[in-house]
Structure 1
């Protein structure tokens, strides 16, 4: 498949077939297909030509910047042989072209296929418009919406003689499908999501990024699954050539303006206006090459981040230096935004221009806050001023942590703790070290060692009369983390609540809340844990300096969502995480896919679950920061067994023998063992499997991991275990969440005199909670009783109710979408919903509403919560409760 081809994704193929059918049936006189560069216009054109070739004679007309300056330039192939007198008369040219079309088309209808119609010269456009209006030919034109679009063709459209179709960007699902088709195999979902975020659904950019990453080794195949091996790096020379041609067609001033924006990544519109480029920016914006994001300050960016990156590669160093000097005449570096100062320093270092040490340090901090890891590291390494070197090393350590180089981050922090006399540096090093330890699977002994190192640093500073910017509360937090690493939860909750009651600073508050959420989640109180993790995420959202805690807080929040379980909140968390930190998806994509897979498995969507879980296993084999590999392998084995994928089950069992054991008391490992045992049910038999479940449940009970015990005893109940009722009564009395409720109902149903009736009630309740596997298990137990004649006297009523449950459990059962009630939204939120439902992306919505992209994303997150939906697709495809009323209010 050629780079840029999107036809196999389905969307463009369907459109091409529809266009061809319209022309074959003669239902349209002409179509304008409008889309940005790289949106798939050429592929649609080629397919339409193939589909109509038997009925229509196609004449291809190529417009260009050069030909646009020549009268009838685009019609040269159709007007060859014309005299100078004829070429001076539009009527003569039209007659000549018309007669030639009629002669060559024969009994087929003539179709004029115009590429880059926005570059068509006015004289050619006038002739084509007359031919179409007079019925002498039909028109299929592809181009971009620009201010200089030929007026004669626009008139055809406004008069209703031809139609216009806008090519939308690919959705996230289509982008992921494009990745799979292009690479020829399964792709980790995080890759598709990252590509969609970076390329904004542009097919050409998407395939360029994929192709470049594959060729330079930043995208690799592991057992047939494509996973990232680091940041995806574009290296597509063909796309660079396309951009080079794009630049050639620009005026010198437009090239200057575009290169300035690309080299700066973002520039205030005021700065470009001061340099005299206001008109050029308007042209570039109208042609969708740059976007203007209204502020304050109003900023100009390239339409796609990837465009900017490739354009920067095309600018020679000498020219880059000259442009930087031009910009320096009107720029106050310290007044630049975070993105602006990071790119300005990168640009300066590229050209060898001197940069003040304070600016370098600010760029390193801002780069880390924005997760621009390479830029942050580069700026930190360039700081040479003695009084700032240690603070730069802190930023270097942060960049190492965010880039996944944990050993390097730990080493840098330890060295600073052991030697620095700067109280700010000591405090920052200690807190960053805590963050790294919490995120990674460091053994408890190393955490305690670093707590001692921290204490020694405090004592050393006290001896010099300096107090560090942190207190001993940080030491206590790292000691608590060490206790949790040993799975010792007794007394930990009270210690954490005491720390929080004493109102620590925001960073310590985040750490304490995250630890408390983890404790509450595993000890049977996931709903209370969600309160803590939600507060931690709110603090991180409002304080950029805490952004390096995002992964930590998100993972604990997801843990509690999955243990409640709340699939909706889990999906919302995942979607928000993907928007906040798309670059980190490539590091933690395995964990993200595992979480998605667990949600789908809980819902009983086995195919969807395996599409997430299989790539998650391969990604975690390559990179497992949080010790999730064993759980991923176990869950995949369980899902595969339910789906009848025996070969995958066998492979997972073999994998499980090789995965590192994070600790026998690790709750994730206990669950992993249970899932592998359930996957081996056919081989082990029910008795041996129940024995394994019982042993694991007792182990979870002894370590206080109530949520794990609840899950294990529910699996045992699904196998028909009736020997655990007393323990279940005690357990569910103290546990929060729906799983505990279902366990209590299931176990009581098994020993009830109305067993089948109660099991059907369990199935119905489980369906309400989207716990489809539990519902299916209960329904099968009833079905088995009916088949064996063990059911009670009301067999007919049971059969009727069971049939209803089975219908709801059927994967093919149609689910009517719930209408959305927009009345609960604010006016601004309803305006955004209307624009999103019309097909606009977040940047386009932001531009139209004169707000920032971040503002749009924040409104959409609140819209999802108010409407109880999970994603943008739900917002776009779901019907409105009262469309007329909703539309009238917008």
Structure 2
């Protein structure tokens, strides 16, 4: 009998399927639910039968389908027994009142019973509600029901990411942090049964717990729980020996190429497992890969596998990779890690080559492990609970614990904790490993450890390359150390000193690093004019695509865009970046990202899309920084196109990527954009909760005015969408003042402030900010501000048309609605109707929603949440999410008494008396795709 919690899992986010099932049972001969094991077919069938019985229809079940709570009139042991009974009953005259027969596993029904069921259904005497495994062959009688359209067929799919989020929120009664959502998604891939069991187990053993007011889960324990493992292994019953062998290979080694499976004699097994949906085939160019469909399967199989079997498979696969030539960059990593896991430690040169590749892919946990092996000090993982499949994005090995010195058999010592000294690195390979170790520690957020390692490794011969390292390796190490000082430790002056201390005689590479890093430091210090000036001074004397260009061009072009001159920035890029294929990976990525940002500022959304495609073409496996930047750019484009729900999905994944801070993005910046997208998608409570999370991340980071202003601007967006328009305008106008040195940001903030509330002297200030700007978007924002302050309907219609031409449909619809409102105020009813109709057509064509401040219905009906202050709104949202007063106080860094006072005022202003009413009071009326109250 399903418990109340199990029933909740069965029907949560399945309302569409339940409606389709109800319709099929009324209008057709029934429904056949298909899907893979564990997606929730049986629970969905039980919920459907219960609904049908509650409507007064006769329901009979076979084999206990639906359980005793379903309300079945009778329950039969077999389908044949059930059909015997039904054939003896007089036929009901009303087709909508036909007896409903519910049963599981239609693929196991005997042929004779299946034919009898077909005849009864075809004659209109019964309606069928059944489940079947998607990959199984159906009996002929059941097949005919579907082929002859007597019953509908509905595939039950795993839950999507956003659905997992809503399910978890409903189950735990509070907000779940983004990293936990991504870990659970990566582990279960939305399989309803596995997700249910995993969450219930984690709640029972306390690994899913509240931390600072949000629910947090570190990942799977080293050994998956017994019941969960048994459930996962249900899908692996009756495997042929070759199929089990391939599953074992994938469990110990992760995804493999189809060619390797062929070499191991397992190609046929791959085909049959694909047919059973146990593996997925992935295509990337000419490469064909195989991976287990559910990552948790790998953890369970590996845990149940004997050590000798695992060792044999790892060595066989490593030998197969080597035999095929090990041509790809990551082949050496796989060979090294497979042999290490099998107890065969490769030569230091092989380990170092693997560490370089792992660092290039930003797999910093693996980089650390490989470097410590080179240095003779392999370390166990700090957190024995984590497994590779439980990471936020399936991200490899766990993070190691704090370094307490790296000491090896050859008296190697790199950076004892706190002393910063190097006690004698004896070989060039060991020096390389120490410098890569510093980069790996910085990449994992262990910045003080990283600085100690860098200081020790680079201190052996001041002013010269340690152990005669090539100049490019020395420069990369110095750059990594400066990055760690600036972005990890917040010590800009120390970072500048590190870069300026590069040895003389390094040529263009040293010059490029110095110029480029000083331009970045100028951005960090909110001096974009200095960064742009450096670019204008240095770049004209450089050859296109030179090393100096690669380091300096991206920050200089970015600074020009922030100064309101994206056209000049794009011209600079076109002049100096002609062959990005020859650029260093990081420089190429930053150049493409800056190009997209400049195209945004120019209002050229077509070029943005083309640049995103180009960025994707240069993708490398495991490149989290590229994934992050692509997600940020695509989500910005989607929001302009009026598709914030899609942006939310992208930003949720991006917010969990472990990428160190730099001038193109910080964790708080990413979370703030997620908050803004959630608000635009009509999810204000989640938006406010995510905004608090972004503010908490900001408190732990060095000051970066550009990112801080972006967070404040998204804060204004969230407030505007939750009804606090005066608060939104105040936040936006604060950005206008703070971003005086960056006209593009200042004008964007002023544009928002005027759209949501009156702003004094806005037209004059907008004209000042747009003066001399070579940006179509800035000119359009200025014209929008002027039209609003002058209540000029014709000008607003023109602005709407220009936004639509640009592709910014959400802004185009908003301007059209504002034009209609201005015409209405002037008594021009026909013009108002035409403008309103034009906006409605645009909304209908694109499916986007009208912003609340431009909706005439909301203007006439004040929002109940409008009286709340910004702080009251944040407290109310956190309380609605299930946080206690103490948790809220910890998140907002205030006293518990302050939280209680805020809630008292919130209850009084909203006219509610219970904490449980907060969610509905904050949410306001639901919106349909046209932005109207539903």
TM-score range, shorter chain: 0.5 to 0.7
Match of 1:448 in 2: 496
Secondary structure, in 3 states, of the residue corresponding to 2:131?
strand
Match of 1:816 in 2: 845
Q: Are the equivalent residues in 1 in contact too, given 2:159–2:191 (CA < 8 A)? A: yes
Q: Are the equivalent residues in 1 in contact too, given 2:519–2:530 (CA < 8 A)? A: no
Match of 1:734 in 2: 772
C-alpha distance in 2 between matches for 1:688 and 1:272 = 60
C-alpha distance in 2 between matches for 1:253 and 1:644 = 49
2:432 pairs with 1:391: yes
Q: Deviation digits for residues 834-861 of structure 1, max 9, x if unmatched?
A: xxxxxxxxxxxxxxxxxxxxxxxxxxxx
Shift of 1:741: 1.5
What does 1:412-451 correspond to in 2, within 5 Å?
Answer: 412-419=453-460, 420-421=466-467, 422-423=469-470, 424-433=472-481, 436=484, 442-451=490-499
Match of 1:515 in 2: 555
Q: Are the equivalent residues in 2 in contact too, given 1:635–1:672 (CA < 8 A)? A: no
What does 1:278-293 correspond to in 2, within 5 Å?
Answer: 278-293=267-282
Change (3 A) 1:174 1:442: same
Match of 1:801 in 2: 831
Worse-matched range after superposition: 482-491 or 801-810? 801-810
Shift of 1:519: 0.4
C-alpha distance in 2 between matches for 1:663 and 1:266 = 38
Higher normalized helix content (fraction of residues): 1
What does 1:770-781 correspond to in 2, within 5 Å?
Answer: 770=808
Match of 1:166 in 2: 155
Match of 2:345 in 1: 354
What does 1:662-677 correspond to in 2, within 5 Å?
Answer: 666-669=705-708
C-alpha distance in 1 between matches for 2:572 and 2:244 = 51
What does 1:554-569 correspond to in 2, within 5 Å?
Answer: 560=598, 563-564=601-602
Secondary structure, in 3 states, of the residue corresponding to 2:845?
coil
Shift of 1:277: 3.2
C-alpha distance in 2 between matches for 1:680 and 1:765 = 27
Match of 1:304 in 2: 294
Change (3 A) 1:538 1:256: farther
Change (3 A) 1:225 1:438: same
Change (3 A) 1:42 1:277: same
Q: Deviation digits for residues 428-482 of structure 1, max 9, x if unmatched?
A: 31343455567657342022121133x1xx34xx6xxxx6994332122222222
Q: Are the equivalent residues in 1 in contact too, given 2:792–2:819 (CA < 8 A)? A: no
2:24 aligned to 4, 12, 22, which one? 22
Match of 1:314 in 2: 304
C-alpha distance in 2 between matches for 1:339 and 1:720 = 57
Q: Are the equivalent residues in 2 in contact too, given 1:39–1:167 (CA < 8 A)? A: yes
C-alpha distance in 2 between matches for 1:604 and 1:296 = 36
C-alpha distance in 1 between matches for 2:543 and 2:226 = 55
Change (3 A) 1:678 1:143: closer
Match of 2:48 in 1: 48
C-alpha distance in 1 between matches for 2:155 and 2:696 = 54
Shift of 1:156: 6.1
Change (3 A) 1:143 1:513: farther
Q: Are the equivalent residues in 2 in contact too, given 1:534–1:557 (CA < 8 A)? A: no
C-alpha distance in 1 between matches for 2:106 and 2:735 = 69
C-alpha distance in 1 between matches for 2:653 and 2:308 = 45
Match of 2:523 in 1: 484
Q: Deviation digits for residues 114-163 of structure 1, max 9, x if unmatched?
A: 54455x3xxx5322323223328765543334476656755665566665
C-alpha distance in 1 between matches for 2:315 and 2:597 = 51
C-alpha distance in 1 between matches for 2:45 and 2:317 = 42
Secondary structure, in 3 states, of the residue corresponding to 2:112?
helix
C-alpha distance in 1 between matches for 2:695 and 2:118 = 70
2:236 pairs with 1:247: yes
C-alpha distance in 1 between matches for 2:789 and 2:702 = 36
Shift of 1:711: 3.5
Shift of 1:35: 1.7
Change (3 A) 1:237 1:559: farther
Match of 2:441 in 1: 400
Q: Are the equivalent residues in 1 in contact too, given 2:280–2:291 (CA < 8 A)? A: yes
C-alpha distance in 2 between matches for 1:244 and 1:647 = 36
C-alpha distance in 2 between matches for 1:450 and 1:730 = 40
Shift of 1:259: 0.5
Secondary structure, in 3 states, of the residue corresponding to 2:827?
helix
Worse-matched range after superposition: 719-728 or 314-323? 719-728
Change (3 A) 1:112 1:260: farther
Match of 1:126 in 2: 111
Q: Deviation digits for residues 730-774 of structure 1, max 9, x if unmatched?
A: 64242133442235435655797x956545655665676648679
1:135 aligned to 97, 114, 120, which one? 120
Match of 1:866 in 2: none
Q: Are the equivalent residues in 2 in contact too, given 1:3–1:204 (CA < 8 A)? A: no
Match of 1:843 in 2: none
C-alpha distance in 2 between matches for 1:138 and 1:692 = 60
C-alpha distance in 1 between matches for 2:282 and 2:268 = 16
Q: Deviation digits for residues 526-557 of structure 1, max 9, x if unmatched?
A: 455567889999988x689736985x668756
Change (3 A) 1:680 1:491: closer
Change (3 A) 1:353 1:181: farther
Secondary structure, in 3 states, of the residue corresponding to 2:63?
strand
Q: Are the equivalent residues in 2 in contact too, given 1:32–1:165 (CA < 8 A)? A: yes
Shift of 1:524: 0.6
- Unpaired runs of 5+ residues, structure 1, are 63-74, 80-93, 788-794, 820-876, 878-890
C-alpha distance in 2 between matches for 1:762 and 1:381 = 60
Q: Are the equivalent residues in 1 in contact too, given 2:565–2:773 (CA < 8 A)? A: yes
C-alpha distance in 1 between matches for 2:803 and 2:357 = 47
Change (3 A) 1:209 1:527: farther
Worse-matched range after superposition: 200-209 or 224-233? 224-233
Q: Deviation digits for residues 237-262 of structure 1, max 9, x if unmatched?
A: 54322223333432444322210122
Shift of 1:381: 2.2
Count of residue correspondences: 757
Q: Deviation digits for residues 284-322 of structure 1, max 9, x if unmatched?
A: 122111234467554432223443344323323233123
Secondary structure, in 3 states, of the residue corresponding to 1:392?
helix
Q: Are the equivalent residues in 2 in contact too, given 1:265–1:339 (CA < 8 A)? A: no
C-alpha distance in 2 between matches for 1:437 and 1:113 = 65
Q: Deviation digits for residues 676-723 of structure 1, max 9, x if unmatched?
A: 899999xxx99999999999757755x4x2223433554676666675
Match of 2:246 in 1: 257
C-alpha distance in 1 between matches for 2:689 and 2:161 = 33
1:99 aligned to 84, 91, 101, which one? 84
Q: Are the equivalent residues in 1 in contact too, given 2:257–2:287 (CA < 8 A)? A: yes
Q: Are the equivalent residues in 1 in contact too, given 2:249–2:313 (CA < 8 A)? A: yes
